[in-house]
């Protein structure tokens, strides 16, 4: 990872200027979430401040307005509302009256302690902020109460905060607006008490999205919507093969076109800058480029699969082991299977785009990104300046799904903008380039062996073979052949099996890969949950009861499985042309189970209903928990039904929604979400609904037709969904 910026006096002044002379409170949000906020959090010379001890900010102005700088990026998951609710709960204000601003790229303040960088992803936003943001609100409240007590000359213990005011039984009531300046002079408490869940008035209660009105009325400005005075536009002609380079080009015809400002050789492609976007895009057709397509020109889908098959013979790195699976499997009846998943694109509705201004004052970047820290680093590198001179203006994201954890488009925009210093230049990728130059979800191969005894799995072996995203994006996290994101779904494997051997093999295939919603949980869940289903049927056991028998050590997981079976009306086997399929796992600190109900029709199979039960601990914003499960389940349908990326001679064969289909409304079944109330610490929710859709549907296909399909998408296995 790139080095991160120290906290400078200038950045402190930039942040504190938002307050207008009121109260500014920071909370420690990095390695030590239990540490109390302190004034030293804003002192550039304080030794306690470092790149992994960042701060989030709560500001109260002279007018009493509460401003919350949200350090996570909005991409439809409503993170602004959820995190504002954490602050509002302890600060005793109505979140609907708070002003929410997007925090800048400042890893020294906003590092995600679960991911080690300023990132929005991995279903970590609430988990990371659960205690620190409540503590920030509680600290501000305590200082306001102390200020009121001092003004009234009464003990602070006789005062309480409510509804944006401090109240005393005999002295009356003071608004936060009246106390903000005095509160800023109060000592920061060493520790503050947080409310018990029984006292929550905001957390867990219904609340409309704080950005809902703007989005419904089209007022939300995404990255692609940003416009600045004097702005020009750029379009890019990339090499048709990923990794290919420009050898030479002829732009003589392009330069004669009206409106064309410049032509820029980026190495990986050639960009045209023009007054209008469609002028720039049309000019690309006049470019004559000679390419060095590189080694990726030899890639095709069959070759990639062969690479994974070849690597299946390697021993791999051990994720989890128990007992002696090899001995057990050598002495009894063994079931063996291979499962596979394909490359997938992200298909964000908003294509990649970035507006950049390179000037003597530094670099300004306007982009929809999940990774402001990475955007800042790549922009600085592209412009040849220190990261402290790069200002990231993060915009709401029109679809992330992991794609916007990569910031290649930011680097491109800055390099293009250097051709016109001081001029705002907006780069927009075409839809086709967005599909053909993605960071794809890796393909995977899964080799499984298992046996059953006394109604349970006696031994299980699973080996996942796949390229590693993390080895490219964050290589520091890959240790002794283990990519922690490849082990999702195996490192947190749910079932109690006495003899277990779970491994991974990293095999690069020469294609750039990226994080895709739920990452390896989706791939491992498909293989393992389908194979568990195979073992259940091989032993003559009900698939739900079979799983429950192995969940004695995980009562929360067993509870969601029982609940989803009850809610869905589950029954084993096929009846009246209908059947159910089940899948279950823990992921992102939450527990989830899913059942798919399928019917057989004259023209194919129909998914009649998806039912998911989830225990995510304390639900901050219950409506959005359900919305995220529903949306994630639709994402699960993408990998399940018919979507895939294929290659021929290094060229991606898909280019738009017509040949990489997203489920249409008529194809999306009713989705029922059952939320189990819990007092446990919040788990992640944004990706939890994705992994189990594919195995639940595949298991239902088997229950209905007797056909076991072991590769995604399922329609490649000879079934048709209608």
Q: Is the pLDDT of residue 653 over 70?
A: yes
Q: Which pair of structure tokens corresponds to residue 653?
A: 């064969």
Phi-psi region of 455 (alpha: psi -120 to 50; beta: other; left: phi over 0): left
CATH 3.30.365.10 applies to domain 223-293+352-428: yes
- Pair 145, 160: CB distance under 8 Å: yes
- Mean predicted confidence (pLDDT) in 470-499: 96
- Mean predicted confidence (pLDDT) in 282-294: 98
109-158 pLDDT, tens digit each = 899 999 999 999 999 999 999 999 999 999 999 999 999 999 999 999 99
Q: Tally Cβ neighbours within 10 Å of residue 522.
A: 31
CATH class given for the domain over 9-216 = alpha beta
**CA-wise closest residue to 517 among 628, 401, 435:** 401
Distance (Å, whole) CA 110 – CA 205: 27
Distance (Å, whole) CA 521 – CA 97: 38
Domain 302-343+440-717: which topology?
A: Aldehyde Oxidoreductase; domain 4 (3.30.365)
Distance (Å, whole) CA 99 – CA 101: 7
Q: Is the pLDDT of residue 107 over 80?
A: yes
Confidence band for 56, pLDDT divided at 50, 70 and 90: low
- Pair 188, 38: CB distance under 8 Å: yes
117 by DSSP, 3-state: which? strand
- Mean predicted confidence (pLDDT) in 619-647: 98
Q: Which pair of structure tokens corresponds to residue 596?
A: 């798919």
Task: Label the pairing between strands 335-341 and 269-274.
Answer: unpaired
315-351 pLDDT, tens digit each = 999 999 999 999 999 998 999 999 999 999 999 999 9
Whole-prediction pTM value? 0.92
Distance (Å, whole) CA 692 – CA 274: 47
| Confidence at residue 34, expressed as pLDDT on a 0 to 100 scale | 31
Q: Is the pLDDT of residue 239 over 50?
A: yes
- Facing residues of 365 across strands? 356, 392
| Confidence at residue 73, expressed as pLDDT on a 0 to 100 scale | 98
Q: Which residue has the higher pLDDT, 505 or 26?
A: 505
| Confidence at residue 13, expressed as pLDDT on a 0 to 100 scale | 38
Full 3-state SS string of 540-564: CCCHHHHHHCCCCCCHHHHHHHHHH
Q: How would you label 101-121 residue by residue, b for 16+ Cβ within 10 Å and e otherwise?
A: ebbbbbbbbbbbbbbbbbbbb
| 634 Cα distance to chain centroid | 15
Kindly state the helix (H) or strand (E) to which residue 292 belongs, with its residue range.
strand 288-292
Distances, alpha carbon 165 to alpha carbons 93, 98, 148, 155, 173, in Å: 8, 14, 10, 17, 6
- Pair 186, 180: CB distance under 8 Å: no
Distances, alpha carbon 508 to alpha carbons 187, 311, 317, 462, 486, in Å: 55, 10, 15, 19, 13
Look at the alpha carbons of 114, 115, 119, 123 in this order and tell me if their dihedral is positive or negative. negative
% of the chain at pLDDT higher than 90: 89
Q: Tally Cβ neighbours within 10 Å of residue 153.
A: 7
| Confidence at residue 26, expressed as pLDDT on a 0 to 100 scale | 56
Q: Is the pLDDT of residue 353 over 50?
A: yes
Q: Is the pLDDT of residue 403 over 90?
A: yes
697-720 pLDDT, tens digit each = 999 999 999 999 999 999 999 999
Confidence band for 25, pLDDT divided at 50, 70 and 90: low
What is the tally of helices (H) and strands (E) in the chain?
19, 28
| Confidence at residue 61, expressed as pLDDT on a 0 to 100 scale | 87
Look at the alpha carbons of 10, 12, 16, 22 in this order and tell me if their dihedral is positive or negative. negative
| Confidence at residue 24, expressed as pLDDT on a 0 to 100 scale | 60
Hey, where are the domains in the chain? 9-216, 223-293+352-428, 302-343+440-717
Place of tokens 């939450």: 590
Span of 183-187, 375-379, 660-664, 684-688 with lowest mean pLDDT: 183-187
Q: How would you label 678-704 residue by residue, b for 16+ Cβ within 10 Å and e otherwise?
A: beeebbbbbbbbbbbbbbbbbbbbbbb
Q: Do domains 9-216 and 302-343+440-717 have the same CATH topology?
A: yes
| Confidence at residue 21, expressed as pLDDT on a 0 to 100 scale | 52
Q: In whole numbers, what is the pLDDT of the chain averaged over residues?
A: 92
Q: Is the pLDDT of residue 15 over 90?
A: no
Distance (Å, whole) CA 266 – CA 289: 12
170-217 pLDDT, tens digit each = 999 999 999 998 998 888 888 999 999 999 999 999 999 999 999 999
- Mean predicted confidence (pLDDT) in 213-230: 97
């Amino acid at each position: 990872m790139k080095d991160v910026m120290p906290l400078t006096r200038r950045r402190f002044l930039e942040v504190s200027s938002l307050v207008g002379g009121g109260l500014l409170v920071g909370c420690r949000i990095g390695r030590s979430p239990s540490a109390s906020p302190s004034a030293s959090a804003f002192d550039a010379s304080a030794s306690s401040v470092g790149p992994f001890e960042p701060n989030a900010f709560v500001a109260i102005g002279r007018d009493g307005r509460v401003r919350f700088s949200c350090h996570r990026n909005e991409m439809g998951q409503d993170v602004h509302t959820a995190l504002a609710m954490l602050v509002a709960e302890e600060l005793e204000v109505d979140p609907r009256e708070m002003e929410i601003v997007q925090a800048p790229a400042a890893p020294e303040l906003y590092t995600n302690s679960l991911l080690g960088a300023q990132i929005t992803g991995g279903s970590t936003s609430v988990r990371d902020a659960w205690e620190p943001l409540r503590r920030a609100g509680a600290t501000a409240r305590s200082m306001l109460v102390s200020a009121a007590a001092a003004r009234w000359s009464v003990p602070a213990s006789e005062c309480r905060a409510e509804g944006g005011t401090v109240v005393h039984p005999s002295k009356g009531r003071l608004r936060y607006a009246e106390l903000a300046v005095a509160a800023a002079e109060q000592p920061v408490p060493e520790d503050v008490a947080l409310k018990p869940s029984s006292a929550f008035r905001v957390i867990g209660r219904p609340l409309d999205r704080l950005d809902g009105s703007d989005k419904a009325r089209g007022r939300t400005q995404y990255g692609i919507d940003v416009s600045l005075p004097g702005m020009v536009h750029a379009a890019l002609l990339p090499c048709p093969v990923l990794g290919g380079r420009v050898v030479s080009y002829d732009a003589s015809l392009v330069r004669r076109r009206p409106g064309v400002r410049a032509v820029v050789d980026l190495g990986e492609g050639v960009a045209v800058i023009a007054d209008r976007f469609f002028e720039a895009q049309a000019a690309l057709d006049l470019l004559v480029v000679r390419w060095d397509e590189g080694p990726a020109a030899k890639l095709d889908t069959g070759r990639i699969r062969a690479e994974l098959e070849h690597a299946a013979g390697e021993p791999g790195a051990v994720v989890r082991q128990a007992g002696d699976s090899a001995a057990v499997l050598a002495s009894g009846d063994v079931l063996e299977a291979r499962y596979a998943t394909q490359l997938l694109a992200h298909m964000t509705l908003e294509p990649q785009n970035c507006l950049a201004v390179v000037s003597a004052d530094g670099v300004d970047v306007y982009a929809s990104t999940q990774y402001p820290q990475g955007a800042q680093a790549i922009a600085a590198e592209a412009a040849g300046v220190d990261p402290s001179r790069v200002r990231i203006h993060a915009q709401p994201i029109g679809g992330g799904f992991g794609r916007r954890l990569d910031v290649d488009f930011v680097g491109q925009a800055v390099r293009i903008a250097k051709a016109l210093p001081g001029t705002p230049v907006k780069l927009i990728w075409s839809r086709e380039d967005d599909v053909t130059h993605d960071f794809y979800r890796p393909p995977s191969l899964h080799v499984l062996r298992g046996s059953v005894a006394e109604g349970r799995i006696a031994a299980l072996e699973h080996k996942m073979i796949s390229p590693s995203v993390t080895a490219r994006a964050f290589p520091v996290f890959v240790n002794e052949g283990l990519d922690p994101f490849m082990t999702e779904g195996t490192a947190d494997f749910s079932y109690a099996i006495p003899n277990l051997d779970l491994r991974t093999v990293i095999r690069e295939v020469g294609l750039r890969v990226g994080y895709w919603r739920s990452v390896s949980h989706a791939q491992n869940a498909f293989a393992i949950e389908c194979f568990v289903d195979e073992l259940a049927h091989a032993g003559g056991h009900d698939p739900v009861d079979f799983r429950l028998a192995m969940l004695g050590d995980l009562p929360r997981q067993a509870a969601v499985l029982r609940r989803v079976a009850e809610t869905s009306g589950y029954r084993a086997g096929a009846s009246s042309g209908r059947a159910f399929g089940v899948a279950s796992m823990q992921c992102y600190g939450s527990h989830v189970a899913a059942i798919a109900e399928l019917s057989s029709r004259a023209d194919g199979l129909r998914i009649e209903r998806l039912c998911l039960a989830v225990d995510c601990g304390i639900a901050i914003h219950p409506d959005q928990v359900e919305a995220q499960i529903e949306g994630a389940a639709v994402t699960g349908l993408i990998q399940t039904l018919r979507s895939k990326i294929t290659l021929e001679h290094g060229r991606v064969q898909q280019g738009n929604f017509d040949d990489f289909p997203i489920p249409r409304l008529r194809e999306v079944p009713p989705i029922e979400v059952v939320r189990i109330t819990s007092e446990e610490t919040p788990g992640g929710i944004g990706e939890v609904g994705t992994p189990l859709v594919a195995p639940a549907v595949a298991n239902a296909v088997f229950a209905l037709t007797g056909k076991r399909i072991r590769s995604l998408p399922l329609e490649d296995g000879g079934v048709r969904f209608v």
